[in-house]
Structure 1
Amino acid sequence: MSDERRKILFVDDDANLLASYARQLRKRYDVETAESGAAGLRAVGELGPFCVIVSDFRMPGIDGLQFLSACREVSPDSSRILLTGFAELEVAIKAVNEGSIFRLLTKPCHPEILVRALSDGVRQYELVQSERELLEETVRGSVRVLSDVIGLTRPDVFGQISRIMPLVRKLSILMDDPQPWMTETAAMLCLLGFITLPEKLVRRVNLGRTLTSEEYAMFAGHAEVASRLVMRIPRMEEVGRIIAYQDKFYDGRGLPQDAVAGDLIPLGARILKVLLDFDRAVESGMNRPEALTALGGRHGWYDPRIVSTLGSMVKDEGQYCVKTVNMDALQESMVLAEDIMLERGGKLVRVLARGQEMSRVTIAYLRKYQQNFSMSSKVRVIIPWECVEDESASSTPESS
């Protein structure tokens, strides 16, 4: 365990007692002290994170319960221990209910009991940290797997996702999205349900063709399918909800058929509704200003603030930087500026579609095909939003 994670904070209005704690424990832990609840909160913010936070109950101003309750908000993983000379049942109940206290110790506390409690608190902190890291890795890994499945099985669908991702990231910032990672993750997986649809139907949707009642019935279920799959991943419930509402009109029409409308629709879903339809309009042959005009004429479909913000983005953005690079110079986040084709059985077969963002898996996928089939060793790629020069890669700018 690193020194940073062995830090202990003692808060007490008795300076002599704090000095005693520091002397007793300095060989075991990195001990910080504070003589009031307010000073303790400053220490948590400036010197944390602490493995264990120990506070006296009776202090002027902020008492120990109030202090540890505040610590729970700013440092939820820290184990919190309350020391009190007033071991009434009421104090113990309040300690548990209000402060999420790890241990309640009475004063004077024997040094062995205190050391044992601190040791248990450190282990609890390590356990919480390990579980969080494991869960975060599990979530990230699950998202990567699902995203790569889309890229490898339906490159045309993944191409659309890749085209909107730079816009999703920028719109999330401009719209003050409180959880931008949720919106970005939802964007990566929003078309997961498309892998269940026939390719012909997906093409008709992306070209803006009018669907028959039978086709619409098939298409209408894609968001629910994707949402259900994503919600099975831990901590992804809200991401799944964003995906479920991606086809919902701002005025409340559309799917899901419920009373949710306007700003009650998740912000991420409102962003996806605008960008997916904008991308489909562009892919159908419109230029970007024409696509924006088309969206603006669909009254009640979109959050007008998002459409307006997208218009400002499109107006202000510079041209993409298009480069020709060798296959071995491909990097993650590069976007294909052209379809990747290979010759197989005398016919040209599309391997990856224009607009697809490169990932570790898709790069390995391309190189594998390059080794086994006849295909070009060079590819044109786009660097979204700005032309990023990479001196380590051999590349030729085509426009800026």
Structure 2
Amino acid sequence: MTEKVLIIDDDVNLLAGLKRQFRKRFDLCTAESGEQALALVKSHGPFAVAVCDMRMPGMDGIEVLGALKKLAPNTVRMMLTGNADQQTAINAINEGNIFRFFTKPCPPETLANGIKDGQEQYQLVTAERELLEKTLAGSVRILTDVLSMVDPEAFGKATKLRDWARKLAGYMNLPQPWKLDMAVMLSRIGWVAVPAEIQMKVRAREKLTHIEEEMIHEIPETGRKWIANIPRLKPVAEIVYYQDKCFDGGGFPDVKAGGEDIPLESRILKILNDLAEVSPDMVPGKDVFKLLEGQAKIYDPVILRAARECLSHTDGDAEGEERHEVAELPVSLIMAGHKLLSDIETENGQLILSRGLVITDAQMAKLRNIGRIHGIKEPIRVLKSLPTKA
């Protein structure tokens, strides 16, 4: 098995011995303290299995496994200790959710068999999670494909936000980036309930009546109700609900919440939404961030700083990264996977798909059908993927 194993113990002689015995059987890393172990998880994770001694200076084993549970919830956790009293075992199970409990001295083969069982458990858990995430992602993709046809402008904006969100999630090392990804793509779903004439007034920045303003404020609540009906997506529904809540407690919804009481992904989405409002570009400039920093109380300062560092520049075509080129093409040469750099409109000016969208097979079918009846303005400006550098 190739899944990595982390053993944590302050006994350097024990760690050296286990390295010699297990070097051909496991991809093994060791740490001499809880602090060192958590740093390794952040820099060299993920680990399939973590085996931790109970009695160590500084953080004890229960504290380490409890922190590890939050930092890397999929890692299978095990306890290794010379203190086998009942209360220690109870605390380890309750606070660290351990998979195995070993007492010292532990025969190497017993420990090896436990690690193998842990690797199998890790494979099972991650396979189930991957299946769930792919199933949910597929369902959301179908839903957003349909909604992008109903309201192409709103979902074109969501596609731009998703690109930013994926970069920022990687930069911040979010433990469950799929939640942010889905929340971004479903963040505009409530707009479907808003009459078209009111949507047009909002986009034209015309003054709204009191009733119309209430409809706009209800968009996140509407989205939450709809998304919550999808199994396992309640956390995503909450992210969408709080996407307009300010870090200082202001904004919608009108509930007592602020700071870190607001879901992390909602705080990210608030910044991305406001960036999109003031930046028409795919890469927001540093001047755009200065506008947001002028209203610092509204945003989580840690996330705002991370967004500026991550999004306000491009690194060019770094080796191994995906490369692109801009092209102007007729409809007949547009393909699924192309990213729109201009709106697609019928010959009489009706918007079909908004700039920023990545074309899907469903949208291609729509383009062909509309083109046969009404005709489509050509050429269409797109971003095409190129082969990556070796």
Asked if TM exceeds 0.5, the reply is: yes
CA positional deviation for 1:151: 0.7
CA positional deviation for 1:248: 5.5
CA contact (8 A) 1:13 1:35 kept: no
CA contact (8 A) 1:330 1:363 kept: no
Distance 1:231 1:177, change over 3 A: farther
- Written as runs of structure 1 = structure 2, the 5 A alignment for 1:148-227 is 148-162=145-159, 185-227=182-224
- Written as runs of structure 1 = structure 2, the 5 A alignment for 1:299-314 is none
Q: Could you tell me how far apart the structure 1 residues matched to 2:31 and 2:156 are?
A: 58
Q: Spell out, residue by residue over 1:185-224, the C-alpha distance to the aligned partner (whole angstroms, 9 max, x if none).
A: 4443222112223222322222223334444444443221
Distance 1:31 1:11, change over 3 A: farther
CA contact (8 A) 1:11 1:56 kept: yes
Q: Which residue does 2:28 correspond to in 1?
A: 32
Q: Which residue does 2:2 correspond to in 1?
A: 4
CA contact (8 A) 2:346 2:375 kept: yes
- Written as runs of structure 1 = structure 2, the 5 A alignment for 1:1-400 is 3-5=1-3, 7=5, 9=7, 11=9, 13=11, 15=13, 19=17, 23=21, 29-30=25-26, 32=28, 34=30, 36-37=32-33, 41=37, 49-57=46-54, 64-65=61-62, 68-69=65-66, 71-72=68-69, 75-109=72-106, 114=111, 116-162=113-159, 185-233=182-230, 237=234, 239-246=236-243, 255-260=252-257, 266-268=266-268, 270-271=270-271, 274-275=274-275, 278=278, 323-327=327-331, 328-330=333-335, 332=337, 334-341=339-346, 348=348, 350=350, 352-355=352-355, 357-366=357-366, 368-369=368-369, 372-373=372-373, 375-376=375-376, 378-381=378-381
Distance 1:53 1:379, change over 3 A: same
CA contact (8 A) 1:274 1:302 kept: no
CA contact (8 A) 2:241 2:253 kept: yes
Question: What letter corresponds to residue 149 of structure 2 in structure 1?
Answer: L
Distance 1:48 1:22, change over 3 A: farther
CA contact (8 A) 2:53 2:80 kept: yes
SS of 1:32's partner is strand
CA positional deviation for 1:125: 1.6
Q: Spell out, residue by residue over 1:5-63, the C-alpha distance to the aligned partner (whole angstroms, 9 max, x if none).
A: 2757485738479647954x677x32637584479837767766443334454567776
What is the TM-score when the length of structure 2 is the normalising length?
A: 0.66
CA positional deviation for 1:376: 4.7
Q: Spell out, residue by residue over 1:84-130, the C-alpha distance to the aligned partner (whole angstroms, 9 max, x if none).
A: 44422232223324433212233454677545534432322222222
CA contact (8 A) 1:85 1:108 kept: yes
CA positional deviation for 1:226: 0.9
Aligned length: 362
Distance 1:86 1:193, change over 3 A: closer
Q: Could you tell me how far apart the structure 1 residues matched to 2:101 and 2:208 are?
A: 65
SS of 1:357's partner is coil
Distance 1:113 1:153, change over 3 A: same
Structure 1 stretches lacking a partner, 5+ long: 283-291, 343-347, 393-400
Question: What letter corresponds to residue 2 of structure 2 in structure 1?
Answer: E
CA contact (8 A) 1:190 1:223 kept: yes
Q: Spell out, residue by residue over 1:280-330, the C-alpha distance to the aligned partner (whole angstroms, 9 max, x if none).
A: xx9xxxxxxxxx9xx99xx999769999x999xxx999xxx9742133244
Identity %: 29
Structure 2 stretches lacking a partner, 5+ long: 281-287, 315-324
Q: Could you tell me how far apart the structure 2 residues matched to 1:15 and 1:90 are?
A: 28
